[in-house]
Structure 1
């Protein structure tokens, strides 16, 4: 028989798999994913794991851990499937969910609270979305988040194993995207902790904490130091440009992340409510203050993207979990008016979302025939069953519990049923996948590819390096040229042997010209 904790872990794992596997195959790769996948492919092609490259050039913009992980999966599976290569990110998400569960049990001695925190996290829209992409961000933030929890458990109980876990997780975070996760999550937690418990900064444990941080920084710096010793100023120039990018590119206003509540998905109203509900217990105030400091810290950085707000979704899972456990334990009649109002608003919101999703599926799935009738019928049955279960069996005792559980399940239902159509109809110019595959002759040919303009995603899709065509005429006998029009400059020394249609990742059509040198 499973213990109660094992049952919780099993349920959380199954729900996480369901949430992530539902969409891991849907999205087309973006430039961030392409860079990771290309670097991983070139690691295996060049048999050089220590010095990553991108399209034949050194790639020092990000530390190599996510690339190493992707290359390892590529090697053992012998697959270039984007869905397969996203599995490590999915596993990182599941690890984070389970680490949160185990940490909250240690911190609060409350299994139900730990389960609710993890349940909120795995059903958060942005967490699911980023977990189904092969990028650096999920690694650096998740490891820093878990390192913060390990730090708290160590401070609370003094177990050295948690100090070691903190150090290892910080190393992994640094090796994933430098100090980004450390700055966005770990430092804010240190501040929140010592603001709430200022006397603990004078305890002996803090010496070991800072020593472990120094060791983690030192170990994770080995790769960077090696790159500097081997590539000198080139490496430094890349680092300087990256630092500059964080202050000049994608610059947004200070309030850019204040809409993060929208990306909480079905927890929208709960996330708004907890921002204005300061916990009374000092131990709970840490997590509330952590969220506020994280919001301030990431807002101070000029470079802002929605995915860089991931720390807020991680920390909010705990603050929302605090509200959920309050509802679970507080009799309905003893709730304040605004607390009852929140439950009513949330219930109406969930019904609206499910009905809206059903209408959306009916129009695009049944009327517009974007999916098969069998799949539409399955989705419709699930929606109707969901509405039935949500509508019956309410009592004052279980009202709040049902609203909370169905809040998470609503996100999973909509994510499972509507993501395909949403992505295909509204996210990718009415195209979900490439309608014109890359010719097998192009893939099997060893002829180099030249172009005057290309996207980094094209390098991944074509399966090999694309060389920038400059004023120098290539020397190879056979080459491919990627472009909209015939390469007039090349036709002085080359003749066109064959032309292939090629659909770019932007879904625009171009040509691949097979050229043979004229002798």
Structure 2
């Protein structure tokens, strides 16, 4: 028989797999994913594991750990499927969920609380979304998040194994995207901990923490120093450009991330409630302050993107978990008026979401026939079953528990049933929809591809490097040219043998010309 903890882990893993596998094949790649995929492909083609390249040029903008993991999956599976290559991200997210569960058990000595924190995290909209994309961000933030929990465990019990875990996780976070995760996740937790427990800064353990951090960060910089000594000024130029980009590009206001409540998905109202409710216990106040400081830290940085707000979703899983366990341990009669009001609002919100989702599926799935009738029937049946289970059988004892559990399940149900239609019908202008397949002759050809202008996603989809056509004439006997029309500069030397239509990532149509040298 499984122990209770093993049952929890089994449920968390099953729900996580359901959350990610239901959307991992739906999303088309973006430019960040394309760079990682191309770098992994070229690692295998050129055996250049230590010095990654993208389209034949050195790529030093991000450290190589995520690319290594992608390349390993590509090598093992021999697949270039985007869904397969997103598996490392999915596994990283599941690792984070289970690490959170294990850490909260050690910190709180409360199995139910640990389960609820992990349950909230795996059913958070933005965490699911980013876990289904193969980018550098998910690694650096989740490793820094787990390192923070390992630090807190060491600060509490002094076990060296937690100090070593912290060191390894900080090392992995730096090797994923430099100091980004360390800055926006780990440092805020360090500050929150010592603000709430100021006396601990004078303990011997604090010395070992900072010594270990220095060693871990120094080891993580080995790759960067290696690139500097091997590529010198070129590497420094890339680093300077990256630093400049964080100060000048995607400039947003200080309040850019305050809409993170919306991206919490079905935990919208719970996240609003906990951010304005300061806990009384010091152990709980640490995690609340962690969320506030993370928000401040990521808001200070000029460069802002929605995925850079991931620290908020990670830390909020614990603060919402604290609210959930409070509801689980209190009878309905003991709850304060505002706490009862929150449950009622949440219940009505979930019912509204399910009804809207059902209407949405009926219109686009049944009337517009965006999906097969069998799939529509399955989705509709799940919605109706969900409504039945959610709407009946309430008692004062089970009321809060049912609302909380169904809050997470609502996110999973809507994510599973509506994602494909939402992506294809309403987000196609922001995604890369290659509706027209690329001809096999192009994919299998060994001829070099030239273009006057192209997107990095084209390099991934066409399966090979794209060379920029400049003043120097190509010297190959046969080439492939990507463009709207054959360039006049080539017409004197090359003649067109075949022409294929090609749909770019912007949905614009261009052509692939197979050209053969005249003389």
Q: Shared fold (TM-score greater than 0.5)?
A: yes
Q: Distance in 1 between matches of 2:431 and 2:373?
A: 20
CA deviations over 1:390-418 (Å, ceiling 9, x no partner): 01110001100000000000000000000
Residue 262 of structure 1: SS of its match in structure 2?
Answer: helix
Q: Distance in 2 between matches of 1:517 and 1:191?
A: 66
Q: Which moved more, 1:439-448 or 1:404-413?
A: 439-448
Summarize the alignment of residues 74-473 of structure 1 with structure 2, pairs less than 5 Å apart.
Answer: 74-429=74-429, 433-473=433-473
Residues 496 and 516 of structure 2 are in contact (CA less than 8 Å); yes or no, is this contact kept in structure 1?
yes
Q: Which runs of 4+ in 1 moved over 3 A?
A: 429-433
Residue 43 of structure 1: SS of its match in structure 2?
Answer: helix
Q: Distance in 2 between matches of 1:256 and 1:438?
A: 39
**Shift in Å at residue 507 of structure 1?**
2.1
Residues 144 and 185 of structure 1 are in contact (CA less than 8 Å); yes or no, is this contact kept in structure 2?
yes
Q: Distance in 2 between matches of 1:249 and 1:433?
A: 26
For the structure 1 residues 484 and 139, does the alpha-carbon distance in structure 2 shift closer, same or farther, using more than 3 Å as the test?
A: same
Q: Distance in 2 between matches of 1:106 and 1:236?
A: 43
CA deviations over 1:345-397 (Å, ceiling 9, x no partner): 00000000000000000000000000000000000000000000001110001
**Shift in Å at residue 429 of structure 1?**
4.0
Residue 264 of structure 2: SS of its match in structure 1?
Answer: helix
Residues 55 and 466 of structure 1 are in contact (CA less than 8 Å); yes or no, is this contact kept in structure 2?
yes
TM (normalized to structure 1)?
0.99
**Shift in Å at residue 257 of structure 1?**
0.3
CA deviations over 1:314-358 (Å, ceiling 9, x no partner): 000000000000000011111111100000000000000000000
Residues 370 and 421 of structure 1 are in contact (CA less than 8 Å); yes or no, is this contact kept in structure 2?
yes
> Gaps spanning 5+ residues in structure 1: where?
none
Residues 145 and 186 of structure 2 are in contact (CA less than 8 Å); yes or no, is this contact kept in structure 1?
yes
CA deviations over 1:225-284 (Å, ceiling 9, x no partner): 000000000000000100000000000000000000000000000000001111000010
CA deviations over 1:411-443 (Å, ceiling 9, x no partner): 000000000000000111499852221111111
Residue 405 of structure 2: SS of its match in structure 1?
Answer: helix
CA deviations over 1:270-301 (Å, ceiling 9, x no partner): 00000111100001000000000000000000
Q: Distance in 2 between matches of 1:375 and 1:309?
A: 34
Report the aligned-residue RMSD.
Answer: 0.9
> Gaps spanning 5+ residues in structure 2: where?
none
Q: Quote the residue 1:64 is aligned against.
A: 64
**Shift in Å at residue 24 of structure 1?**
0.2
Q: Distance in 2 between matches of 1:107 and 1:469?
A: 60
Residues 287 and 318 of structure 2 are in contact (CA less than 8 Å); yes or no, is this contact kept in structure 1?
yes
Residues 423 and 432 of structure 1 are in contact (CA less than 8 Å); yes or no, is this contact kept in structure 2?
no
Residue 501 of structure 2: SS of its match in structure 1?
Answer: strand
Q: Distance in 2 between matches of 1:489 and 1:4?
A: 72
Q: Which moved more, 1:233-242 or 1:498-507?
A: 498-507
Q: Quote the residue 1:3 is aligned against.
A: 3
Q: Which moved more, 1:72-81 or 1:422-431?
A: 422-431
* 2:18 is the alignment partner of 1:27: no
Q: Quote the residue 2:513 is aligned against.
A: 513
Q: Distance in 2 between matches of 1:329 and 1:447?
A: 68
Residues 425 and 431 of structure 1 are in contact (CA less than 8 Å); yes or no, is this contact kept in structure 2?
no
Residue 280 of structure 1: SS of its match in structure 2?
Answer: coil
Q: Distance in 2 between matches of 1:26 and 1:410?
A: 19
Residue 454 of structure 1: SS of its match in structure 2?
Answer: coil
Residues 424 and 430 of structure 1 are in contact (CA less than 8 Å); yes or no, is this contact kept in structure 2?
no
Residues 432 and 505 of structure 2 are in contact (CA less than 8 Å); yes or no, is this contact kept in structure 1?
no
Q: Quote the residue 1:479 is aligned against.
A: 479
Q: Which moved more, 1:302-311 or 1:420-429?
A: 420-429
Q: Distance in 1 between matches of 2:63 and 2:433?
A: 30
**Shift in Å at residue 486 of structure 1?**
1.8
Q: Quote the residue 1:42 is aligned against.
A: 42
CA deviations over 1:10-54 (Å, ceiling 9, x no partner): 000000000000000000000000000000000000011100000
Residues 483 and 511 of structure 2 are in contact (CA less than 8 Å); yes or no, is this contact kept in structure 1?
yes
Q: Distance in 1 between matches of 2:430 and 2:423?
A: 8
**Shift in Å at residue 222 of structure 1?**
0.5
* 2:502 is the alignment partner of 1:498: no
Q: Distance in 2 between matches of 1:95 and 1:22?
A: 18
Q: Distance in 2 between matches of 1:493 and 1:325?
A: 74
